[in-house]
Amino acid sequence: MTRWTRALPALAIVGMCVAGGLDPGATRAGETHKLTEKDNHRPTPLRVRPGDKVRVLLGYQPGTGYSWGLAPDSTTLLEADKSKPKYGEKVDEKGEPLKGGQAPGRPGGFEYRLFHLTVPDRPVAPGGRRDLKFLLARPRGQDVADTFVVPVAVNGQG
């Protein structure tokens, strides 16, 4: 009897996982995924579901004329959140909003921008490009200093 009493909590957890269809590696709709420069050119796709949010934190040096923006040839599997600034929110290096009076950057230092994207219930184009792509470029011109690329896969769509 004692042996079964000790095993009961473990069996209960396994039972809940099986009954609930819990897969620790699977994402649940409505999750928020955070990408940073460490994710640039990752070999495995970011797996998302309709309703998920994707936050991309990118740093750059202000005063150079370059800034990050969503590339025109980026995937249509994600949409930019229209309620947020097109060129990202100014945040600190952890992606937290700047505190009142905190300067967004300092001479010779870095600024960080947080971009907000969502996975629509129905993608604009189910096929086509699968890479989320940002460009560090000047607003007017073809001069690109850096790229940020992450493959994306919407679960259930490939």
In order of start, what are the domains of the chain with their CATH numbers?
A: 28-154 (2.60.40.2020)
Indicate the burial class of 77 (C-beta count within 10 angstroms; 0-12, 13-18, 19 or more).
Answer: buried
Strands (E), 9-130: 32-35, 46-48, 53-60, 67-70, 79-80, 89-91, 111-118
Contacts of 59 (CB under 8 A, 6+ apart): 37, 93, 110, 111, 112, 113
**Per-residue model confidence as pLDDT tens digits over 110-149:** 889 999 999 988 766 555 568 999 999 988 777 899 999 9
Distance CA 46, CA 41 (A): 11
Of 36, 148, 146, nearest in space to 95 by CA: 36
Read off the pLDDT of residues 54-66 as tens digits, 9 standing for 90 and up. 999 999 988 888 9
pTM (2 decimals)? Answer: 0.74
